[in-house]
Amino acid sequence: MPAASKTLKVVATTGMVADLVRQIGGDQVQVEQLMSSGVDPHLYRPNTNDVKAIRAADVVFYNGFKLEGRMGDLLGIKTTGTKKHIALVDALPADAALGDPEHETADPHVWMDVQLWSSTTHLIEQELKSRIPAHAEQFSQRATDLRDRLQKLDSLGKRWIESIPPDQRILITSHDAFRYFGKRYGLQVEGIQGVSTSSEAGLRRITQLVDLLVEKKVPAAFVESSVPEKSIRSIIEGAEKKGAIVAIGGELYSDAMGPTGSGAATYEGMMRHNFRTIVKALGGDPSE
């Protein structure tokens, strides 16, 4: 266990995981984030530096539910001694996970439900307190402050979504990353690809979504920062050929946060951006 005067070496896989650890850990943790903004964790391949970082870390936090699928051999092994690999999804209630229709696992996009993602902060808090007891009070205070902010963000998002006309609460995106979002905030969610971007979008699915855009007069569909735009543009073009006018509602952050300066370089900023972008494009009122 590191001495109280030293920082804890932490590795985190995605930005959403790393940000929670930074918010709670403060100056007492040194966080190395493996996947930067715009990186698709479904397709990410670990490199030599990742392996070295994981081996050198005091603790490794990752999402779980096979989000980091190609890092499974590195993250699935529970190390002994002072090193430990911790999946944040282990903090979820047993009935909280949504199933993945394509694979024998749960949908990993838990962070799209702000309330649910907030519940994982308890696991981070307890782990940091156990490793640096001298700073336990600081970890607890930061974690409490973070949960309070996330509760307010969750409430704001709900209010904004409720301002969308009911018949326009249809969210169409590049891949099926928003199911937790839809369940929590009351939207019909449709992705072109499945839960993982490694799946292929078939012609039948493209046709279904074109018909949905036309039939329901959906005003916008959304691209994602970590997924190519081609599939979204194809369904918009297909709808236009049938006389529908569909806009690209904006870029959403799904599997990765935004770069520095984007306003979405933190988890809170990322989700606030998503709420505001979706609500504005679908005819709601995203005012404070």
The pair of structure tokens assigned to 150 is: 């996330």
Rounded-to-5 percentages of helix, strand, coil across the chain: 45, 15, 40
Query: Is the torsion defined by CA of 79, 130, 28, 150 positive or negative?
Result: positive
Beta bridge pairs of residue 8: 29
Q: Torsions phi, psi of 262, nearest 5?
A: -85, -15
What is the rounded CA–CA span in Å between residue 92 and residue 192?
Answer: 27
Parallel, antiparallel or unpaired: strands 29-33 and 220-224:
unpaired
**CA angle, corner 65, sides to 198 and 128, nearest 5?**
130
What is the amino acid identity at position 245? I
Contact assessment for residue 33 and residue 18, using Cβ atoms and an 8 Å cutoff: yes
Instruction: Calculate what percentage of the chain has a pLDDT beyond 90.
Output: 75
- Mean pLDDT computed over 99-112: 82
- Mean pLDDT computed over 262-281: 97
Which range is most confident: 35-39, 104-108, 150-154?
150-154
What is the rounded CA–CA span in Å between residue 33 and residue 37?
Answer: 10
**CATH T-level assignment (fold) for domain 159-281:** Rossmann fold (3.40.50)
167: helix, coil or strand? helix
**What was the pLDDT predicted at 264?**
96
**What was the pLDDT predicted at 74?**
80
Query: Which residue has tokens 């439900």?
Result: 113
Contact assessment for residue 284 and residue 68, using Cβ atoms and an 8 Å cutoff: no
- Mean pLDDT computed over 220-235: 89
Q: Torsions phi, psi of 249, nearest 5?
A: -70, -15
CA nearest to 221, candidates 171, 270, 167: 171
**What was the pLDDT predicted at 183?**
97
| pLDDT tier for residue 198 given thresholds of 50, 70 and 90 | very low
The pair of structure tokens assigned to 24 is: 């709670």
What is the rounded CA–CA span in Å between residue 277 and residue 106?
Answer: 27
| pLDDT tier for residue 73 given thresholds of 50, 70 and 90 | confident
Listed range (6-20, 33-47, 75-89, 122-136) with the worst mean pLDDT: 75-89
**CATH T-level assignment (fold) for domain 8-155:** Rossmann fold (3.40.50)
Domain residue spans in the chain? 8-155, 159-281
Question: What are the tens digits of pLDDT across the range 229-243?
Answer: 888 999 999 999 999
- Alpha-carbon torsion angle 138, 144, 150, 151, nearest 10: -170
- Mean pLDDT computed over 28-47: 92
For residue 96, pLDDT beyond 60:
yes
Listed range (6-15, 28-37, 89-98, 190-199) with the worst mean pLDDT: 190-199
